Amino acid sequence: MTLITYAEVPWDAPCYARHVWRPVTQLTPGLRALREHETALGLDRHDVRTVMSRSVSRGLRAGTGRT
């Protein structure tokens, strides 16, 4: 699962990192296109944007990251 969020806003990337989300360093063509679209919309003017991912496992309780 992937998401795109602000890198330095405390309730964005740092919060996701505490819940097992990790930065993506190699963007797929689709993620690259999404980032380009966000840039065209002007989202980058607010803060640095980052792509993050996390594995999805069966048995996780919704929203907790725990089984």
Residue 17 inside a domain? The answer is: yes
Collapsing DSSP to helix, strand or coil, 2 comes out as strand
Residue 16 inside a domain? The answer is: yes
Full domain range(s) for residue 22: 11-26+43-55
* Threshold 0.95, pTM exceeds: no
Segment 33-60 mean pLDDT: 90
30: closest CA among 51, 55, 58, 6? 51
Number of domains in the chain: 1
Residue 65 inside a domain? The answer is: no
Task: State percent of the chain over pLDDT 70.
Answer: 85
Residue 19 inside a domain? The answer is: yes
* Beta pairing, strands 22-23 & 2-6: unpaired
Going across the sheet that includes 49-53, the strands are 2-6, 49-53, 22-23
Residue 62 inside a domain? The answer is: no
- Please say if the pLDDT value at position 54 is more than 70: yes
> According to the model, what pLDDT value does residue 23 have?
96
> Higher confidence at residue 61 or residue 34?
34
Distance separating alpha carbons of residues 53 and 21, to the nearest angstrom: 5
Residue 15 inside a domain? The answer is: yes
> Higher confidence at residue 67 or residue 13?
13
Q: Which amino acid is at 7?
A: A
